[in-house]
A and B are shown apart, each in its own frame.
Chain A
Amino acid sequence: MTSSAMTGTYLSEGAGPRAWLLTTDHKRVAWLYLVSLTAFFFLGGAMAVLMRIELATPAGDLVSDDVYNRLFSLHGIIMVWFFLVPSIPATLGNFLLPLMIGARDLAFPRLNLASWYVFIFGSLFALFSVVAGGVDTGWTFYTPLSTLYANGFVSTAAFGVFIVGFSTIMTGINFIVTVHTLRAPGLTWFRLPIFVWTLYATSLVMVLATPVLAASLILIVLERVFGIGIFNPDLGGDPLLFQHLFWFYSHPAVYIMILPGMGVVSEVLPCFSRRPLFGYKAVAMSSMAIAVFGFLVWGHHMFVSGQSAYAGVVFSFLSFCVAIPSAIKVFNWSLTLRKGEISFETPMLYGLFFLGLFTFGGLAGLFLAALAVDVHVHDTYFVIAHFHYIMVGGMVTAYMAGLHFWWPKLTGRMYSETAGRIAATVTFVGFNLTFFPQYVLGFDGMPRRYHTYPPEFQFWNVLSSAGAVVLAIGYLMPLFYLGWSLFRGARATDSPWNATGLEWQTSSPPPPHNFKSMPIVTRPAYAYDMKGLEHERFSPHLEAGR
């Protein structure tokens, strides 16, 4: 991958497919994930662009309704389960968690590699259903449509998602155990970087929520293949039961998708402001609060489903409660900038854009939690805009921030700063152009998952479609300049951003077992206001022990 000049790094230890495909080094497994997730991201993204082009006109003239339904179903399935859920944890998390806590690897390196193979195995099922004819149930697999009426390859897609769940659980267990047992001497819980806190919270959700999804998908497949009727009203079952089970997983899954992004931004903002994170403990604890509350709000997806009005009131109340920790984080991030020395490198630009987009996505969440308003905007483009602001504007922007922030550590190379800043800006503009009009569309009453629509909605749809093209360009650009930097980029120093954190104390790229000697931590995270941060102590006597 890189030239022979970099010896003694994890990249130079063995080349060829065997050395990569059978590696148990968490840093290489992170690359395996990175490459596969990038492929899925662009596959799902291509489907989104096709949908947007179709929606530029009110009539269904580009693709047929069946094709359109398959496009949005697969876009959702791929983006949620094959990109967003694993995105930051399996790539950046995998690479950085041991580095950040001063460990040589994750607690279970082979389990880590196995999780990637399980992921690939599951994704083959999903890809099979794409190639074989698609799925037309939406990513939510609502019954009885998915069990009795859908004519696509629902079982294989659901089975693929089920398999990928195992990989998620494996990663979750691995992370939890690693954080508990492998922290470097002196690295107490409240000295952990927030990124580690958020990975920990994410892992808890992964481990506890994914099995419930597994249960509901098993029941779907059993119903389709074996004809049992847990969700079939004709056989005494209840279709709403599926929604309860599904959202019991899928709402916490939303937090699987956003918490790591919050962690990345908590690393980036202090670094480029040269300031400690404002209210560190509040940010750490609010991550845990989000993880816990996330389990209690699934019913807010079902306000108009026919569940009792009182259940609706309770879920609305809890949903407002879960908004508080997110609000606290936004305030803390903003205040971190105060009295800093702010510079605007690419990761910081992405970080600031995250802050804006997450705020406007989160505020829309208040509208959706307010019952009477949700009745109107539920299942409209308002919801689409809301969760794309969080998932794409939030998570994907944070992912880009993290990728650019740690790219020198991943590869030992620098990318073109100019190209990076242009791409970040193009993404930001394209994103808002794509999704802000969808808020208006939703309030005007355009339902989601519509292949055709009344002509008065066209104005906003055209804006949105134009934005999608800009956004696609913004996401394609890094593919080129980051790819170029892999081979031609300038050599990176060990700590190009002069950041705190153990990952910057080792070489770029790191050696196979991360550290030349066991680090000892003596100060809190983000000690940007303390002098001499390049002199983190290392213990000489532990060096012999490896």
Chain B
Amino acid sequence: MSFGIPFFPQEASSEASQVDALFYTLLAFSAVLGLALTGLVVGYAVKYRVGSPADRTGQRSRNMWLEMSWTIASLIIAFIFFGWGATLFVRRDHPPADALEITGLGKQWMWEFRQPGGQREINELHVPVGKPVVVSLAAQDVIHSFFVPAFRIKQDAVPGRTTHIWFIATEPGHYHLFCAQYCGTQHSEMGGWVTVMAPEQYAAWLNSQGEGETLAASGEKLFRVLGCSGCHGASSKVRAPALEGIFGRPVALENQQTVIADERYLRDSILIPKKEIAAGYEPVMPSFDGLIDEGELQMLLAYLKSLSPQPSAGTKP
């Protein structure tokens, strides 16, 4: 920018230009109103200074019509900005169905990502240009926040739950990735780079990283290592619910209630199995709380999700 002084951040996602349109409209509105008020106050201060010859007759300390009109005008303007901001915001909950799903794990003090093909990255994230990307976020220890200024997006990663953020990168390049939620000693060093590449280059990059194991594949291994398959497998002696296609399906519970098997349900069922017991089964499953970490939990969830035909998990709020 001018003389190397940054005035405006780069715009590198489909979201960025839309957020900026609202931002600059607000900026223009604020500048006009702020400067008008400043002009008014300065103007009055000069015109009506002590000893000035200005006309002071007909002064009133109340003007109902004026007060009503500025109240109503403020309301209308406020509601316009509210509606605009909210419309852009609710799209956060609705990622496109064909989005690339990347998992992100925040821990003190680094970001760990795993590409759909299983390639792992630390404090680096490679994404293709022009393709929707969903990042499912989890946190190992404290709250972190995934923030890419050039994309105008931010989402906290909260321990004990999975959150999502999605974007479509539009400009190839190298962009800052920050942790925006204060997370302890090295908070300001927790970050890195998001690299946006043309699809061919992205594909080439993925290949150069080697055919890593996908998250779901690691999850499947873990599923066997931890002994889950011993009960949930097709040929097991212990009667446990089959997990094929479970994700996104309603599950009848012992207490006559029904829940949708979303990420929250699966997470709780692994860590706190006695909380919601599927109807018709004995509450015999042990808790894996403390035995697996947040990263391993992400693998198991990815594996369970991969057993379902649904294309994407990002639609769950």
Which residues from chain A sit less than 8 Å from chain B, CB to CB?
A: 60, 65-66, 69, 136, 138, 142, 144-145, 148-150, 233-234, 236, 238-240, 273, 275-282, 303-306, 308-309, 312-313, 316-317, 320-321, 323-324, 327-328, 330-332, 334-344, 352, 355-356, 359-360, 363-364, 366-367, 369-376, 378-380, 440, 443-445, 447-454, 456-457, 459-460, 526, 529
Contacts and interface: CB of A to CB of B under 8 A. Distances in A.
Contact of B49 (A309, A343, A352): A343
Contact of A371 (B38, B89, B150, B181): B89
26 contacts: A233-B160, A239-B143, A279-B62, A309-B90, A313-B90, A317-B82, A328-B70, A328-B71, A334-B44, A337-B41, A355-B41, A366-B30, A366-B81, A370-B82, A372-B15, A372-B18, A373-B22, A373-B26, A376-B149, A376-B154, A379-B180, A443-B9, A443-B23, A444-B9, A445-B176, A529-B61
Interface stretch (B72-80, B229-237, B277-285, B301-309): B72-80
A370 B153 contact: no
A136 B184 contact: yes
A375 B153 contact: yes
B62 A370 contact: no
B82 A273 contact: no
B48 A342 contact: yes
Contact of B50 (A342, A450, A457): A342
A378 B143 contact: no
A448 B63 CA distance: 44
A369 B85 contact: yes
Contact of A313 (B37, B38, B89): B89
B171 interface: no
A136 B178 CA distance: 20
B254 interface: no
Given A306-B158, A320-B82, A341-B56, A149 B188 contact: no
Given A309-B92, A370-B82, A239 B74 contact: no
B210 interface: no
A149 B290 CA distance: 17
Contacts of A238: 160
A306 B137 CA distance: 10
A380 B188 CA distance: 12
Nearest to A330: B37
Contact of A306 (B142, B156, B183, B189): B156
Nearest to A319: B82
A142 B181 CA distance: 10
Contacts of B189: 65, 452
A438 to B, nearest CB: 13
Interface in B127-158: 141-143, 145, 147, 149-150, 152-156, 158
A144 B48 contact: no
A60 B70 CA distance: 48
A145 to B, nearest CB: 4
B78 A323 contact: yes
A495 B141 CA distance: 61
A94 B53 CA distance: 41
B6 A367 contact: no
Contact of B159 (A233, A359, A376, A378): A233
A144 B184 CA distance: 11
B194 to A, nearest CB: 12
A267 B90 CA distance: 44
Contacts, number: 269
A275 B59 contact: yes
Given A367-B26, A375-B89, A449-B182, 20 more contacts: A136-B184, A149-B184, A278-B63, A279-B61, A281-B62, A304-B154, A313-B90, A327-B74, A335-B63, A338-B48, A341-B56, A342-B50, A371-B85, A373-B22, A373-B85, A378-B154, A444-B8, A445-B149, A447-B147, A449-B187
B6 to A, nearest CB: 5
Contacts of B149: 376, 380, 444-445
Contact of B158 (A236, A240, A453): A240
Given A66-B185, A149-B108, A378-B154, A144 B142 contact: yes
A445 B147 contact: yes
Interface in B84-133: 84-86, 88-90, 92-93, 108
B50 to A, nearest CB: 5
Contacts of A320: 78-79, 81-82
B135 to A, nearest CB: 13
B157 to A, nearest CB: 8
Nearest to B66: A335
Contact of B147 (A336, A340, A363, A379): A379
B200 interface: no
A459 B6 contact: yes
B179 interface: yes
B245 to A, nearest CB: 27
A395 B40 CA distance: 22
A314 to B, nearest CB: 10
B5 interface: yes
A369 to B, nearest CB: 7
B158 A309 contact: no
A359 B142 contact: no
B7 A440 contact: yes
A412 B289 CA distance: 69
